[in-house]
Structure formats: C-alpha cells, structure tokens
Amino acid sequence: MNRPGAGASAPTPGTAPAFSVCVYCGSRTGTNPAFVRAADTVGCWIGEHGGQLVYGGGRNGLMGRVADATLAAGGRVVGVIPKALVEREWANDRCTELHVVDTMHERKRLMAEHADAFVALPGGIGTLEEMFEVWTWRQLGYHDKPVGLLNVDGYYDGLLSFLATSVQQQFMGDWQMGLIRTATDAPTLLRELVQAAGMAPAARLDEI
C-alpha cells in the first residue's frame, strides 16, 4: 500500500528531494529531553536543506518527532510500516508517502532502497538491529551508502566502548569501524553523510 499522507502537502510536480536520509530511532522518547531535541534537529535539518526523511512510519516517540519536524520544515517524509505494527505504533498518516507492508524484512528492504544514507538516533533493540544490519550490508558490499550513529548526550558511549573491545579482541577490524561515522552534533553528521553519498544539500540563506 502506498498512499500520500492526509495531512501532508503534495510535493511539487517534477521536483525531487536533494537527498534522502533513512533515520532509525525509538518509538519512545526516552527520559532525556536531549533525545527529543536531537530528533527535532535532525528532522528540521532534513527539511530545511531540501531533503527527504525515510523512517519506520510511526507517529510515536522519536519517530513521530523527526517526521513532524521534517514536514514542518518543508521536507518530504516516506514512512514504511508493517501491518502488524500499524495499530501498535500508530501509523503516521501525515507522511508524504506511507507504505504498509507485510513483514519487517520488506520494511527494511524498502527503507534501504529509498535512502541515500542512514543514521541512527537513540532507540532500543529495533533501532540497534536496523543500524547493525545496514552496517553489515555495507561490510559485505551489498550497498555503499554511508552509515552514521548520532551519539546524543553519551547515549551510545557504552556501545562504542563495547565495539572497541570487539576490535581489540580481533572479532572486528578497524576497517569495519571505519564504515560507520559517529558524531555528537546532528547537523555536522548529516552534512557529512549527505556529502559522502554524493549529494548536495540545499543551502539555507544563513549558510550562504
């Protein structure tokens, strides 16, 4: 199922987004207000720079925040959600496009196909699973799209420490860590990812 969101304005005919970023994040907001601010910043940056958000299609938690911020800033939003999660995650009918699919595998495939780059914000096991999968796909050469991890207020410090241990114990190599970019500043990370994907984000007036 592919339909335009009821609350989103239709895209201008003949135009295309400057880039498309797939964002993985929680369907909850978490306890730290910095997580919500980061989701708002990511969505605002995508919209203000002429981009398109691809995400899991929910309207709750950080997922809903990043989608709403993108739309409010003039960007397009493509949501992809399985039928089984439509009621559980409250599918966001404000998406520019909302794809309802049968399985999680189809969801992740479609999200990846629509994206030029990927970035993970704070989230739970679903966020981690999605981020690790596209990272693994890049390692195996299934795609060459940049992958980023936004470490908001130290949320991923423990994970990054564990990954360093994995390298030290020779279950991973430094080259694998080099396939993922990490940063604490959302605009900096997003610009690096979009440019690494070979795209040019539209300049804001205050950046000219």
Check which CATH number belongs to the domain holding 159 and give it.
Answer: 3.40.50.450
Tally Cβ neighbours within 10 Å of residue 159.
15
The answer to whether residue 202 sits within a structural domain is no
Domain that holds residue 39: 2-9+17-196
The answer to whether residue 205 sits within a structural domain is no
Q: How far is CA 110 from the centre of its chain?
A: 13
Ordered per-residue pLDDT tens for the chain, 208 residues: 443 333 333 345 447 899 999 999 999 999 999 999 999 999 999 999 999 999 999 999 999 999 999 999 999 999 999 998 887 768 999 999 999 999 999 999 999 999 999 999 999 999 999 999 999 999 999 999 999 999 999 999 999 999 999 999 999 999 999 999 999 999 999 999 999 999 988 776 456 3
What the block records as the tokens of 59 is 């309207």
Number of domains composing the chain: 1
Tally Cβ neighbours within 10 Å of residue 66.
26
The answer to whether residue 203 sits within a structural domain is no
In angstroms, the CA 119 to CA 18 distance is 17
The answer to whether residue 206 sits within a structural domain is no
Residue type, 151: N
The answer to whether residue 204 sits within a structural domain is no
